[in-house]
Chains A and B, each alone.
Chain A
Amino acid sequence: MKNKLIELKDLTKNFDDQQVLRGINLDIYENEFLTLLGPSGCGKTTTLRIIAGFDEPSSGQVLFNGIEISKVPPYKREINTVFQKYALFPYLNVADNIAFGLNLKKMDKSVIAQKVSRMLKMVGLEGFEKRDVTLLSGGQQQRVAIARALVNEPKVLLLDEPLGALDAKIRKQMQTELKKIQREVGITFIYVTHDQEEALSMSDAVVVMNNGEIQQIGSPTDIYNEPENRFVADFIGESNIIEGHMIKDFLVEFDGYTFECVDKGFPENEEIEVVLRPEDLDIVEPDKAQITGVVKNVTFKGVHYEIIVETESRTYMVHTTDYAEVGRKVGLSFGPEDIHVMWKMGAY
């Protein structure tokens, strides 16, 4: 049903003697909201710049509709970019900024004016045509930047941490708006961010990157619930990561106890890591759980308490609405579906 639009094949990139991308393979589909997520320096922006055409890969291919484009200059690609700090031309007004690309195509003035005003309407800036871009607020500049890119009717829109410079409230608002715009125009958005919450709430697909490599590709729920390795589990949300081994399918051992679980397909006695999300753990009476420990610290977090429990082998973080006073002996309870077994880092 879905058509492949962009394929990245074995992309690598070196800056001087530093390897920034180490073999990126990624398929990007039509009409998809895809997010490249990772800490700074993970290579997500470089990947985006290669797709846009600002950087050439050191090796590998970029296919667009099946055609290799890694040597095609940016101005010949059906791809447009929304820049991190918007990159609006300071000497042009809002309308002229948006019309920049259309003017280059020598389009008819009246057609341009029509397209510009339609774009402004879509981003919620009707009547802003003659405004000075340097006097707009961050959020408004952001909208102009989006309109300027979309008016060229690209097949793909690239967004490089576009909300990074906005304050928290406008950020939230823009997140919803971006998602809405994407549905409206029905093209592929490739979005770069280091903010996991942003990535999870907006995307159809999330690509978690670290150190120039892709760690996991999947839907937001997959990424959150089924992290494939320690990095993903650690980076997305908070987690208790525990080393253990897989006794057999549906049976895992850690901290000296065996637990039923829902994971299978690992070799018997394979060394693995287990993720227990803090919100999946419950505080119970010590006799009702296998793992027991003492409450070390309690912090109120608004909706829930963050409780640190020290057991024989480690400390666990628990998010719960129940209160437990410091020093109390408690048990930690969780069900088989709360245990996520992952391959150990570097073992695959």
Chain B
Amino acid sequence: MSRVKKNSKFASVYMGILFFLMYLPIGVVIVFSFNESKLPVAFTGFSTVWYEKLFNNHAMMEALRNSLILGALSTFISAVIGTLGAVGLSKIRWRSKGAMEYISILPLMIPEIILGMVLMAFFYMMGLPFGMLTLLIGHTIFCVPYILMEVKARLAGMDPALEEAARDLGATPFRAFLDITLPLCMPAVLSGSLLAFAMSMDDVVISIFINGPKVSTLPIKVYTQIKTGVTPEINALCTIMLAVTLLILGLYSLVKRINQGEKTDEKQAH
């Protein structure tokens, strides 16, 4: 029974304006990435010249490669650490559990700029050379919580009787974990990983502090280019990044939906 009150005309207009303002900049970027002229002023004609220029820009392509490698590696390491951490946190009953859980999401609570600064100072003191390695560690630090939180939520919604049943049927705790818990967590690991990957591909603030003079990621490259003003090549890059982001978002919601589908199945089975 839906009892939805109708929103007034004012409400629709208001929402329309706000959505327009939210999407206007994005629309502008997409349109002008196909513009012939260099100036983002008027649309003079359709052209893919900026895309060609972009793909021939070696520095940009290298930054893209760096970002992809960095994203993939930090996501993988985070997935291992985060999953184990979530499983561990769900099992322990120590008094320090609250503190542990707090620390586990701390990297998302601290303002990015402070985290970046802290890591820069820390790596310097440790004598680590700034470059791919420091970027990898830094990205892993803020990627872990995304996976950890997703897996933790999944574990919390899981019937503990499943694992107990496996143990009852003769599985060692370790086997029960491998055969029951881990497969059930897999969708959460996957959705968390997608989220983490997107965050890694997206990060500017922390990377700026720990990338060092020689290595650049794609967002850093974009940042340094647009600091000086508008270049249409960036329009093209942004459009591509937008497409990739939406793709990841689509994948993420698909994984989520499969997760939820399973959950309702479980419910119906009860």
Instruction: Name A residues whose Cβ lies closer than 8 Å to a Cβ of B.
Output: 15-16, 18, 20, 54-55
CA distance A18 to B1 in the complex (A): 9
6 CB < 8 A contacts A-B: A15-B1, A15-B2, A15-B3, A18-B1, A20-B1, A55-B3
Residues of A within 8 A of B1 (CB): 15, 18, 20
CB neighbours of A16 from chain B (8 A): 2
Complex: A189 Cα to B2 Cα, angstroms: 27
Contacts of B2 in A (CB 8 A): 15-16
A68 to B3, alpha carbons, bound, how many Å? 23
Q: Report the minimum CB–CB distance from B39 to chain A (whole Å).
A: 53
Interface bits B1-30 vs A (CB < 8 Å: 1, else 0): 111000000000000000000000000000
Closest to A20 in B: B1
Question: A282 vs B3: C-alpha distance in the bound complex, in angstroms?
Answer: 51
Within the assembled complex, what's the spacing in Å between the Cα atoms of A315 and B156? Answer: 50
**Chain B residues whose C-beta falls within 8 Å of the C-beta of A15 in the assembled complex:** 1-3
Q: How far is the CB of A234 from chain B (nearest CB, A)?
A: 26
Instruction: Please name the residue on chain A nearest to B1 by beta carbon.
Output: A15
Q: State A281–B2 Cα separation when bound (angstroms).
A: 47
- What distance in Å separates the Cβ of B118 from its nearest Cβ neighbour in chain A? 39
The 8 residue pairs across chains A and B that have the minimum distance between CB atoms: A15-B1, A15-B2, A16-B2, A55-B3, A20-B1, A15-B3, A18-B1, A54-B3
Q: Measured between alpha carbons, how far is A172 from B267 in the docked complex, in Å?
A: 33
Task: Please give, as numbers and ranges, the residues of chain A lying within 8 Å of B3 by CB-CB distance.
Answer: 15, 54-55
Distance of B79 from chain A, by nearest CB (Å): 40
Q: How far apart are the CA atoms of A20 and B1 in the complex, in Å?
A: 10
Which of under 10, 10 to 19, 20 to 34, or 35 or more describes the interface residues of B? under 10
- Can you add 5 more A-B contacts, CB < 8 Å, to A15-B1, A18-B1, A54-B3? A15-B2, A15-B3, A16-B2, A20-B1, A55-B3
Closest residue of chain B to A18 (Cβ to Cβ) is: B1
The interface residues of chain B lying within 8 Å CB-to-CB of A20 are 1
CB distance from B116 to the nearest CB of A (A): 40
Closest to B3 in A: A55
Please, which residue of chain B has its CB at the minimum distance from the CB of A55? B3
Bound-state CA distance A55–B1 (Å) is 12
CB distance from A74 to the nearest CB of B (A): 13
Complex alpha-carbon distance, A16 and B2, angstroms: 8
Whole-angstrom distance between the Cβ of B5 and the nearest chain A Cβ: 11
A54 to B2, CA, bound (A): 13
How distant is A319 from chain B, measured CB to nearest CB, in Å? 35
| Least Cβ–Cβ distance between B127 and chain A, in angstroms | 55
In the bound complex, CA of A18 to CA of B3 (Å)? 13
- Please give me the residue from chain B that is nearest to A15 by CB atom: B1
What's the nearest-Cβ distance from chain B to residue A273, in Å?
A: 33
A54 nearest CB neighbor, chain B only: B3
Whole-angstrom CA separation of A16 from B1 in the bound complex: 8
A54 to B3, CA, bound (A): 10
A54 → B minimal CB distance (Å) = 8
Docked CA distance A15–B1 (Å) = 6
What's the Cα separation between A11 and B1 when bound, in Å? 18
- Chain B neighbourhood of A54, CB < 8 A: 3
Least Cβ distance of A17 to chain B in Å?
Answer: 12
Residue of B nearest to A13 (CB): B1
Output the least CB separation between B6 and chain A (Å).
12
Question: CB-nearest residue of chain B relative to A16?
Answer: B2
B212-232 CB mask vs A (1 if < 8 Å, else 0) is 000000000000000000000
A18 cross-chain contacts in B, Cβ below 8 A: 1
Give, as a whole number of angstroms, the nearest-CB distance from A316 to chain B: 37
Tell me, in angstroms, the Cα distance from A139 to B28 when the chains sit together: 60
Closest to A41 in B: B1
Distance in angstroms from A45 CB to nearest chain B CB is: 9
Report the Cα distance A276→B3, complex, angstroms. 43
Complex: how many Å from CA A15 to CA B2?
7
A230 to chain B, nearest CB (A): 27
Chain B 50-85 residues near chain A, CB threshold 8 A: none
Residue of B nearest to A49 (CB): B3
**Interchain nearest-CB distance for A212 vs B (Å):** 13
**A29 vs B123: C-alpha distance when bound (angstroms):** 82
- In angstroms, how far is the closest chain B Cβ from the Cβ of A40? 12
Within the complex, the shortest CB–CB distance from B4 to chain A, in Å, comes to: 10
Nearest CB of chain B from residue A189's CB, rounded to whole Å: 25
B15 CB to closest chain A CB (Å) equals: 23
